[in-house]
Amino acid sequence: MSIKRIVKKTIIKSGLLRFKQCFMPQTAVILYFHSVSNDREGQRSYIGPGITATAGTFRQYMHLLKERFHPVTLDEIADWVSGNKRIPSRSVAITFDDGFADNYHLAAPIMEEFGIRGTFYLTAGCVENQTLPWFCKTLYLFEQAKNKGIVLRDPWAKRDWQLDSPREHQEAFMFHNEQCAAFSWKQQNERIEWLENHFSFRYNDAIAPRMMTWEMARELIQRGHNIGNHTYSHPNVGYISTEDRQIEIVESHRLLAEKLKQTPKHFSYPHPYLNPQHNPESDKQVLVLGYETIVLTEWGGVKRETPPFHLPRVSIGEMSIDAFLWKLETAFAGIKT
């Protein structure tokens, strides 16, 4: 065990972080996940391991939450920050971004073992078309191109990238992802198609991990979970045009309401690349639709006075149970780690 890990365990056992919390306003923590998989390494060319937790680890997380904290729903958080309800101390809400099918097959059943219900934000266009989000496709294409030693002759960057070079591969990957983050659905697909043609191989949905279906989403609602809106195609809405934002926010809202037979009330801003992830215009568009909460990827705990349309969250992937506990205790103590 490393010295750093020993120090963290010692601090946790000492109760110093819990003591600090006694002198702070009540805080709730919203955790956000993406994927839970039995094959974390096997899917790494599609869904990065950094946003994937193994099913066994995720079960440990839920067990710890049930034992040491108070799992609540996002509805309860919304009622609390609106002044309509009290929640227990050390309340934790679980959210999932993107809408991968493993959320239905693995994450939700594990949560239910411990009586926990979550909010699953769907990328509506990807669910409707049963295709992974664009950033999963660029990950796959660039990983395969790296393995093949392809040279990317890039008309947008105005240079060549030697993709079997780790540095150039990462730079090219980031360059195209930052561009795609500011694209509409149509532009995203055009860039993916251009990369496929240039690399001379194609991304194949048939062998990739799946997205949740509408039927799965409706069943999760029946089982007590929430389904929220994560836009239509997962761009950074702070960078797209007003016209594209209308599709990403309003069309996804309409599609979710139609398919789920109920109006979604929770919204999650995607944050694939670029900062910031929203702007005043996007906030206005979301709030006009009647959403009760908007969650961000900005780190932090939620206080009673936190605006419900700018709720911070804490990102969780694959980590030891000690590291998970450390993240939670420091979040409640207002210490970013």
For 253-284, how does the pLDDT look when each residue is reduced to its tens digit (9 = 90+)? 999 999 999 999 999 999 999 999 999 999 99
For 191-233, how does the pLDDT look when each residue is reduced to its tens digit (9 = 90+)? 999 999 999 999 999 999 999 999 999 999 999 999 999 999 9
Average of pLDDT values for 124-150?
98
Rounded CA separation 178/183 (Å): 9
Q: Quick one: 229 and 290 in the same domain?
A: yes
The answer as to whether 249 is a domain residue is yes
Sign of torsion over alpha carbons 34, 35, 36, 41: negative
The answer as to whether 83 is a domain residue is no
Pairing of strands 302-303, 27-33: antiparallel
Q: Quick one: 139 and 246 in the same domain?
A: no
Nearest to 198, CA basis, from 162, 156, 151: 151
DSSP of 265-296, one letter per residue?
-EEE---SSSS-S--HHHHHHHHHTT-SEEEE
Q: Which helix (H) or strand (E) holds 151?
A: strand 151-154
Q: Quick one: 139 and 124 in the same domain?
A: no
* Res 19 pLDDT > 90: no
Amino acid at 122: L
What mean pLDDT value characterizes the chain? Answer: 97
Q: Quick one: 248 and 152 in the same domain?
A: no
Q: Quick one: 237 and 139 in the same domain?
A: no
Q: Quick one: 124 and 192 in the same domain?
A: no
Domain containing 220: what range? 96-132+212-294
Looking up residue 121, the CATH number of its domain turns out to be: 3.20.20.370
What b-and-e string marks burial along 206-233, b requiring 16 or more CB atoms within 10 Å of the CB?
A: eebbebbbbebbeebeeeebbbbbbbbb
Q: At what angle do helices 185-199 and 134-148 cross, to 10 degrees?
A: 10
Average of pLDDT values for 242-248?
96
> Residue 125 has which token pair?
């266009």
In sequence order, the 6+-apart residues with CB closer than 8 A to the CB of 10 are: none
Count of domains in the chain?
A: 2
Q: Quick one: 125 and 227 in the same domain?
A: yes
Can you give the pLDDT at residue 1? 67
Determine whether 99 is exposed, middle or buried from the number of CB atoms within 10 Å of its CB (0-12, 13-18, 19+). Answer: buried
Check: CB of residue 200 under 8 Å from CB of residue 239: no
> For residue 254, how far is the Cα from the chain centroid?
21
Q: Quick one: 144 and 248 in the same domain?
A: no
Q: Quick one: 143 and 288 in the same domain?
A: no
Can you give the pLDDT at residue 3? 83
**What is each CA distance from 269 to 236, 237, 241, 277, 295, in whole angstroms?**
8, 8, 16, 7, 6
Q: At what angle do helices 134-148 and 166-181 cross, to 10 degrees?
A: 160
Average of pLDDT values for 35-55?
96
Can you give the pLDDT at residue 207? 93
In sequence order, the 6+-apart residues with CB closer than 8 A to the CB of 71 are: 65, 91, 92, 93, 94, 114, 115, 116
Rounded CA separation 201/144 (Å): 9
Q: Quick one: 168 and 277 in the same domain?
A: no
For 47-87, how does the pLDDT look when each residue is reduced to its tens digit (9 = 90+)? 999 999 999 999 999 999 999 999 999 999 999 999 999 99
**What is each CA distance from 335 to 24, 30, 109, 326, 331, in whole angstroms?**
12, 15, 32, 10, 6
Q: Quick one: 249 and 267 in the same domain?
A: yes
pLDDT band per the 50, 70, 90 thresholds, residue 2: confident
Can you give the pLDDT at residue 5? 85
